[in-house]
């Protein structure tokens, strides 16, 4: 969530994000916890190549939460005494507080967040050496990622709902504004401004559904899968699952059912990144609309100065950078999904170190999507519609050419024929330099006697909008009821 994120960024690990992780006050000494199997640690080069702490530090809360649950379970089955459990839980809480405060002594030589926390705990609390009983970093990282994603999905859903509210709000502020709707970027038929915005509210609702749906599938506990083959010790997997909230609607624990799948499954990351990619594509389309709307050619809206930039050379410029960057960043989010799929496609069972590469793609997709959602919402909250420009554009009578054809249909003329007749009227108007609503009844009847004398009344825009009242159509009543439906659904934020 936004607040937590800023908390994280206040840790020393804002440095690694900026690519300067190794400027931290830490030594690249050989790995402390290397087992007896190795006579020396990895070379500096190898350590730098294989570390993940510069990005997986973000998992510290989840790592600690998982370790506390695991320790409680180890105490239940007699591996830890209650004093040892107290000491471990206290040590982990202390470490958490230090990470939060930015004073934890991270050590990149310890490779990743799991090793950093565990080895510091063991340095402080001897019983920490028992914590990794029947656990591997393979099931540990699978757990941490699921926990992280569960928290992150909450934040994404809130950000989606905020953007939806901003769109509904911008529609509500201009309930009477009508603009041309476009197909092929050619003026097609009139729509309420709010109807155009509500199209994006619908897209975002489907996005939210995809994130919720993915969460349903990944909210399953993998701990107890060990490195690949579970454990010979009598772990209580159900207890851990309950402790960590991996439960179904009836409170029953949800456990992964195959240890090999559990340690190598990254489907949930792909699903999240796929949902993020599609949501980004939606944002990119919205951004493109905004970019068109602020152009002098359209001139439908005005963005606040806070969301635009000037040109270093051309003094008159006011550029929609937030919208352009949102459109641009979509490339990254789509790329992250591709990178993940390619990462996974050739992996033999089960865990392979390649999987460490999933994190940067996931973190980047989540952070990029969330910042685009937030910025687009802020930009739209402050946008203003140039109502007079929209009214001029919507007054184009050609937008109602289809209404004229429908009018002929009501009089019994087959639609294909009506389409042809109206086409002839449009050509006549173009030839004579008039708009459709400027043609007289005589003009119409000169093209075809089938036009009744009442045909030109079709061009009353207010009446035309009132007529479009099928469910989902941009009719006056329909758009107002869609606006209030969405408003009720979104406030208070109810995306989860």
Query: Dihedral, CA atoms, 154, 156, 162, 163, nearest 10 degrees?
Result: -160
The number of residues in the chain equals 496
The distance of closest approach from Cβ of residue 88 to ligand ARG in the complex, given in angstroms and rounded to an integer, is 21
The distance of closest approach from Cβ of residue 140 to ligand ARG in the complex, given in angstroms and rounded to an integer, is 7
Q: Which of these is catalytic: 39, 82, 184, 296?
A: 184
Mask: binding to ligand ARG, 102-131, rule CB under 6 A, as x and -? ----------x-------------------
Tell me: does residue 31 bind ligand ARG (CB under 6 A): no
Q: Is 70 designated active site?
A: no
Q: Interface with ligand ARG by CB under 6 A: which range of 331-339, 353-361, 381-389, 391-399?
A: 353-361
Count of other CB atoms within 10 angstroms of residue 109:
22
Q: Which is nearer to ligand ARG, 35 or 257 (CB)?
A: 35
Tell me: does residue 355 bind ligand ARG (CB under 6 A): yes
Q: Which is nearer to ligand ARG, 256 or 326 (CB)?
A: 256
The distance of closest approach from Cβ of residue 393 to ligand ARG in the complex, given in angstroms and rounded to an integer, is 53
Tell me: does residue 225 bind ligand ARG (CB under 6 A): no
* Residue 134 near residue 231 (C-beta atoms within 8 A): yes
Q: Interface with ligand ARG by CB under 6 A: which range of 178-186, 310-318, 352-360, 465-473?
A: 352-360
Where is 379: in which H helix or E strand? helix 358-381
CA separation for the pair 167, 378 (Å, rounded): 10
Q: What are 227's two structure tokens?
A: 């490195």
Tell me: does residue 141 bind ligand ARG (CB under 6 A): yes
* Residue 111 near residue 102 (C-beta atoms within 8 A): no
In Å, what is the CA distance from 296 to each residue of 13, 66, 236, 289, 383?
Answer: 44, 55, 66, 13, 16
Tell me: does residue 137 bind ligand ARG (CB under 6 A): yes
The distance of closest approach from Cβ of residue 276 to ligand ARG in the complex, given in angstroms and rounded to an integer, is 20
Mask: binding to ligand ARG, 35-74, rule CB under 6 A, as x and -? -----------------x---x------------------
The distance of closest approach from Cβ of residue 156 to ligand ARG in the complex, given in angstroms and rounded to an integer, is 22
CA separation for the pair 268, 143 (Å, rounded): 12
Residue 186 sits at φ, ψ, to 5 deg, of -115, 145
Nearest to 1 by CA among 205, 207, 213, 148: 148
Q: Interface with ligand ARG by CB under 6 A: which range of 36-44, 126-134, 136-144, 320-328?
A: 136-144
Considering only CA atoms, give the Rg of the chain.
Answer: 30
Q: Is 282 designated active site?
A: no
How many residues of this chain bind ligand ARG (CB under 6 A)? 10
Return the percent helix, strand and coil in the chain, to nearest 5.
65, 5, 30
The distance of closest approach from Cβ of residue 402 to ligand ARG in the complex, given in angstroms and rounded to an integer, is 57
Q: Which is nearer to ligand ARG, 228 or 409 (CB)?
A: 228
360-389: buried (b, 16+ CB within 10 Å) or exposed (e) per residue?
A: ebbbbbbebbbbbbbbbbbbbbebebbeeb
What pairs with residue 277 in β-bridges?
none
Among 356, 368, 398, 478, contact with ligand ARG (rule: CB under 6 A): 356
Q: Which is nearer to ligand ARG, 84 or 118 (CB)?
A: 118
Query: Dihedral, CA atoms, 361, 378, 284, 488, nearest 10 degrees?
Result: 100
Chain positions contacting ligand ARG, by CB under 6 A: 52, 56, 112, 137-138, 141, 351, 353, 355-356
The catalytic residues are 184, 311
């Amino acid at each position: 969530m936004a607040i937590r994120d800023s908390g994280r960024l206040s840790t020393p690990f804002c440095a690694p994000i900026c690519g300067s992780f190794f400027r931290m006050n830490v030594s690249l000494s050989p790995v402390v916890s290397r087992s007896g199997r190795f006579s020396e640690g990895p070379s500096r080069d190898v350590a730098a190549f294989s570390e993940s702490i510069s990005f997986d530090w973000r998992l510290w809360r989840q790592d600690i939460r998982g370790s506390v649950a695991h320790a409680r379970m180890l105490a239940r089955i007699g591996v830890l005494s209650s004093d040892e459990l107290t000491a471990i839980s206290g040590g982990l809480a202390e470490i958490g507080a230090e990470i939060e405060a930015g004073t934890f002594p991270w050590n990149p030589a310890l490779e990743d967040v799991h090793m950093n926390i565990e080895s510091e705990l063991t340095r402080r609390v001897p019983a920490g050496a028992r914590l990794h009983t029947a656990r591997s970093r393979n099931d540990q990282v699978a757990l941490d990622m699921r926990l992280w994603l569960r928290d992150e999905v909450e934040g994404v859903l809130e950000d989606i709902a905020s953007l939806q509210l901003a769109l509904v709000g911008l529609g509500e502020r201009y309930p009477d504004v009508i603009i041309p709707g476009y197909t092929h970027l050619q003026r097609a038929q009139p729509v309420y401004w709010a109807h155009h915005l509500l199209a994006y509210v619908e897209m975002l609702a489907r996005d939210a559904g995809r994130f919720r749906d993915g969460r349903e599938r990944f909210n399953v506990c993998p701990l107890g899968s060990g490195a690949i083959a579970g454990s010979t010790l009598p772990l209580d997997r159900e207890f851990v699952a309950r402790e960590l909230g991996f439960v179904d609607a009836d409170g029953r624990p949800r456990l992964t059912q195959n240890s090999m799948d559990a340690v190598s499954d990254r489907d949930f990351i792909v699903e999240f990144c796929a949902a993020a990619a599609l949501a980004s594509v939606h944002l990119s389309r919205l951004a493109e609309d905004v970019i068109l709307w602020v152009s002098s050619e359209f001139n439908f809206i005005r963005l606040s100065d806070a969301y635009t930039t000037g040109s270093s050379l051309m003094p008159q410029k006011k550029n929609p950078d937030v919208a352009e960057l949102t459109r641009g960043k979509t490339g990254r989010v789509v790329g992250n999904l591709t990178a993940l799929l390619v990462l996974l496609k050739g992996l033999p069972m089960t865990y392979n170190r390649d999987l460490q590469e999933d994190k940067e793609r996931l973190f980047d997709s989540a952070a990029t999507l969330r910042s685009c959602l937030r910025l687009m919402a802020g930009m739209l909250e402050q946008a203003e519609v140039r109502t007079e420009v929209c009214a001029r554009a919507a007054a184009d009578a050609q937008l109602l050419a289809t209404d004229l054809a429908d009018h002929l249909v009501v009089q019994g003329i087959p639609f294909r024929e009506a389409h042809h007749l109206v086409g002839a009227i449009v050509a006549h108007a173009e030839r004579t330099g008039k708009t459709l609503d400027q043609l007289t009844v005589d003009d119409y009847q000169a093209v075809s006697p089938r036009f009744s004398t009442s045909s030109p009344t079709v061009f009353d825009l207010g009446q035309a909008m009132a007529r479009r009242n099928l469910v989902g159509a941009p009719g006056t009543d329909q758009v107002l009821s869609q606006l209030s439906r969405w408003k009720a659904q979104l406030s208070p934020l109810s995306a989860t």
